[in-house]
Amino acid sequence: MKWFLMFSDMKKPVNTLGVTLQFLTSFLLLRICFSKNVPASFVFGDSLLDPGNNNYIASLSRANYVPNGIDFGWPSGRFTNGRTIVDILGHQLGLDFTPPYLAPTTRGSVILKGVNYASGGGGILNHTGLIFGDRINLDAQLDNFANTRQDIISMIGVSAAEDLLKNSIFSVAMGSNDFINNYLTPVLSTPERKLVSPEMFVSSMTSKFRLQLTRLFNLGARKIVVANVGPIGCIPFERDTNPDAGDNCVAFPNQIAQLFNAQVKSLVAELNKNLQGSLFVYADVYHILEDILQNYRAYGFENLNSSCCHIAGRFGGLIPCFPKSKVCEDRSKYVFWDAYHPSEATNTVIAKRLLDGDANDISPMNVRKLVRV
């Protein structure tokens, strides 16, 4: 009780009850933050990680209807049959589901365990995803995180907020939509592709991404997992819209994804070198998913190229998953849930390899080691 005696001995009148309540509130909030010695999780991304933010905006990119969420319990807005990669990672780290930023319940002490800002249709470039109407691109997601940061400071103070953020895990998975729903959009993107080479487009993405990741660092993030773009030429949508590829993945989307990934890998190394105290980690989702597709039976899958939730197209990739779609009997046997997104079974494999994988999967360290640093 020395702190109380210190205040009571002061000559100026002090509202000791108010000070005591503020102290106890901060103490309890910090206990919530650091319970189980597990960091908070802050997530930035697109529909691969969206937990339902798009439920609250006027967007065509939504998943808050059946059969989405069929194995989750309800259609929460996740673009899969069950959990996303960050849901599974969070569970392994002892965290609850990281709530969507736009949910009205994501307020108060809830945010001290983390917030998910991901939005279906969002991209690195601000004009990505225009075909969906509203979506939250990465710049806007960072704006939202800046608001969360101020709320955290208001609750626990600057010093405690800085400690919380530097020990939290930040996940960033962006770029797929910049290709699928921008540069590679069937018909609509043809004029742009005549004027802008793949190299120029990827360079513009990387330059923008550098600014965004630097801003995230400047806002207090230190442990940042940056996922690359997967083999998008293998998704059912690309297979069905490029029938000349036959049973193979479509080459050009994969080539441009690999071009971007090489630059992101170099960018991660650059940021680690230039931003003192940063721990950027490169998650090679392309490599992991490519391995799953090449060895799908070894992972327990029976179908590597078609949508479990389907209605049209040889691979079920022409129309997004919606209430009248047919659903495969055993979701665990399909690599892809719908035209664009992995199934929960695939997400589980990816999450486990990011958590405990070697340098081929994630470097310079896996997520479990990153948590302990």
Alpha helices by DSSP H, listed for the chain, are 2-8, 16-34, 85-92, 138-156, 158-167, 176-178, 190-195, 198-218, 236-241, 251-274, 285-294, 344-356, 367-372
Coil, helix or strand for 354? helix
**pLDDT tens-digit map of 5-59:** 333 333 334 444 444 445 444 444 444 444 455 579 999 999 999 999 999 999 9
DSSP state letters, 53-101:
GGGGS-BS----STTTTTTTSS--S-SSSS--HHHHHHHHTT--PPPBT
Cα angle, residue 328 at apex, residues 327 and 329 outer, rounded to 5°: 115
| 67 cis-preceded (ω within 30 degrees of 0) | yes
Distances (CA, A) of 62 to 58, 77, 120, 323, 335: 9, 6, 7, 12, 21
Give the Cα separation of 225 and 211 in Å (integer): 16
Give the Cα separation of 58 and 133 in Å (integer): 7
C-beta separation of 144 from 122 below 8 A: no
Check 41, 338, 343, 361 and give the catalytic one.
Answer: 338
**pLDDT tens-digit map of 236-272:** 999 999 999 999 999 999 999 999 999 999 999 999 9
In this prediction, residues 330-358 reach a mean pLDDT of 99
Query: Residue 130: how many CB atoms within 10 A of its CB?
Result: 14
341 assigned to active site: yes
Give the Cα separation of 164 and 181 in Å (integer): 35
pLDDT band at 309 (very low <50, low <70, confident <90, very high): very high
**pLDDT tens-digit map of 213-226:** 999 999 999 999 99
C-beta separation of 95 from 114 below 8 A: yes
Give the Cα separation of 104 and 165 in Å (integer): 22
Give the pTM.
0.90
Classify strands 41-45 and 114-116 as parallel, antiparallel or unpaired.
Answer: parallel
User: What's the first-to-final CA gap in the chain, in angstroms?
Assistant: 34
338 assigned to active site: yes
Give the Cα separation of 3 and 293 in Å (integer): 62
Residue-range domains of the chain with CATH = 41-372 (3.40.50.1110)
Supply φ then ψ for residue 16, to 5 degrees: -65, -30
Mean pLDDT of the chain: 92
Q: What percent of the chain has pLDDT over 70?
A: 90
Residue 348 CA, chain-centre distance (Å), reads 15
Check 284, 341, 343, 361 and give the catalytic one.
Answer: 341
Cα angle, residue 292 at apex, residues 258 and 137 outer, rounded to 5°: 50
47 assigned to active site: yes
Burial class (CB in 10 A: 0-12, 13-18, 19+), 5: exposed
Check 47, 59, 61, 343 and give the catalytic one.
Answer: 47
* Residue among 125, 113, 149, 139 nearest 205 (CA): 125
Query: 64-73, 146-155, 183-192, 264-273: which range is least confident on average?
Result: 183-192
**pLDDT tens-digit map of 120-132:** 999 999 999 999 9
Encoded tokens for 310? 């389907």
| 364 cis-preceded (ω within 30 degrees of 0) | yes
The pLDDT score that the predictor gives to residue 343 is 99
